[in-house]
Structure 1
Amino acid sequence: MTTILVTGGTGTLGRLVTERLRADGHEVRVLSRHAQPYAVDLVRGGSGLDAAVAGVDVIVHCATSPRGDDDKAAANVIAAARRAGVAHLVYISIVGVDVVPLGYYRTKYAVEKLVEESGLGWTILRTTQFHDLVVQLLQALAKPPVMLLPAGVRDQPIEVAEVAGRLAELAVGAPAGRVADMGGPEVRTFPELARAYLKATGKRRPPVNVRLAGGAYRALRDGGHLTPGRAVGKGTFEAYLAARFGGGAMSGPGQGAAEGDRLGARRSDGRR
């Protein structure tokens, strides 16, 4: 039996990783800011972090924050892991962190470098965006009467449970360095995703493609965050919507694609 610490173990991904590892018979410690007995602010570090890491064989680092301090948190985790003699650090990252010049991506890429240079045994897995994150974005875009979509941008959402399963496998294996990326089963345009979401939720919003400016937008249009050659995920966006919102999103991806393509042809000449 392996003793494994999961940082961010109460979050969307970390909770599922924890469940999978425990089901496989491993001793798992859950670290988050408010979960006892390992309630730790990773940015501050301190004795609580050392206590959480003591006697641990593997750390699966899932904790993340949109505040831009992931690198500080990771530095503290790595320092504590060195002191405790942890054998293996597993880190979850995002496809395109080295290509798309978003602040959050740049921080995640900086964490990758910290992990690689840590002196610990390490494994890094990059994945595309989770289904629920895409839905969060679409929910925000659907609040106005008109749904403004980034023209020419596609996405490749993946089921978070599949990522959790892969992380659990990596955690109990030997350090493997940068492993093959995980992408969702389909690369979808935003009109396709938006129409599927609107159908599933019963909302009525006219989607309108809007061209944006800036390097991040260009990188997204160019598909820097996609990995079509590693479309290994099984769960589709429609299946996720159906499970979350009910039976409204039962049309297949081909139908959504056709509708999205027609919309895109009318309203945008951009590409991603």
Structure 2
Amino acid sequence: MTDRPDLPLLVTGATGVLGREVLRHARATGRPVRALTRRTAPPADADTHWYTGDFTAGTGLDPAFTGADAVIHCASDPRHPKNDLPAFRHLLEAARRAGVRHVVNISIVGVDRIPLAYYRIKRQGEELLAASGLGWTNLRATQFPQLLDGMLRPLGRLPVLPMPSRTPVQPVDPAEVAARLVALALGDPVGHAPDLAGPETRPATDLAAAWLRARGSRRPVLPVHLPGRAGRLLREGALTSPGHADGTRTWDDYLAARH
């Protein structure tokens, strides 16, 4: 292994749900840690040096990348997914200029199956990474509880809560994904790493019912049949990875802590 313990780990998207957890685990390694955000960076502290850069424009990246050993890429823009591919290209260019040893990318279980725009873009990002000539590792994970919670909140205001019928979901805690990403970053590049999924697979309607109970709501869940190819693939479990149920924190654990 060519890892240099004196060189920094760089975390992109460092203020997001996953990025914050990656920072926490990176600091625990004792390695120098850098964090990159597109907004005004928090002040530097003893554990982390913050940088501001814009991946979409490709500006302000070199100071953060220069001298970094490994980059853990958590930055994404689900609201404007078309920005993710040019952003990823700029990241790879900055990593090449800086001679970064290892780029670790987080992706989503199902990007190679679900015909949704954001998933296609994530898949294209994986292809860019594999063709970059850099040392690389790609980790696909299942959905975070925070994502499901955020989706349920507006729906929970309706008289009934509509959810896809017969659709299995396998939430995984972002802290557990972060720990895996940091461990991968410290090792040699492996290409496509094994998936990381939550400890249990449950119907989406069941997760929604548990969410309502945790909030003290008596609203009913309305199972909705999703038509078309995407609906069929979701029902077939395209968002799950039962053979990699390595997470330990369940949806009910999340709800108990959150609500």
Q: Return the TM-score normalized by structure 1.
A: 0.87
- Report how far residue 99 of structure 1 moved: 0.3
> Is 1:23 the equivalent of 2:28?
yes
Alignment of 1:219-238 (within 5 A): 219-238=233-252
Greater CA drift, 87-96 or 137-146 = 137-146
- Report how far residue 40 of structure 1 moved: 1.3
Greater CA drift, 66-75 or 114-123 = 66-75
Q: 2:106 and 2:148 mapped to 1: Cα distance?
A: 18
Tell me which amino acid in the other structure corresponds to 1:61.
H
Choose the corresponding residue for 2:76, options 64, 73, 76.
64
- Report how far residue 204 of structure 1 moved: 2.0
Choose the corresponding residue for 1:185, options 179, 193, 199.
199
- Report how far residue 35 of structure 1 moved: 4.1
> Is 1:43 the equivalent of 2:56?
yes
> Is 1:34 the equivalent of 2:39?
yes
Residue of structure 2 equivalent to 1:206: 220
Residue of structure 1 equivalent to 2:92: 78
- Structure 1: gaps (5+ residues): 246-272
Alignment of 1:102-181 (within 5 A): 102-181=116-195
Aligned residue for 1:38, secondary structure, equals strand
Residue of structure 2 equivalent to 1:261: none
CA contact (8 A) 2:143 2:172 kept: yes
- Report how far residue 214 of structure 1 moved: 2.7
Root-mean-square deviation over aligned CA pairs: 1.1
Tell me which amino acid in the other structure corresponds to 2:169.
D
CA contact (8 A) 1:94 1:127 kept: yes
Q: 1:74 and 1:181 mapped to 2: Cα distance?
A: 21
- Structure 2: gaps (5+ residues): 42-49
Would you identify which runs of 4 or more consecutive aligned residues in structure 1 move more than 4 Å? none
- Report how far residue 140 of structure 1 moved: 2.4
> Is 1:217 the equivalent of 2:214?
no
Aligned residue for 2:61, secondary structure, equals helix
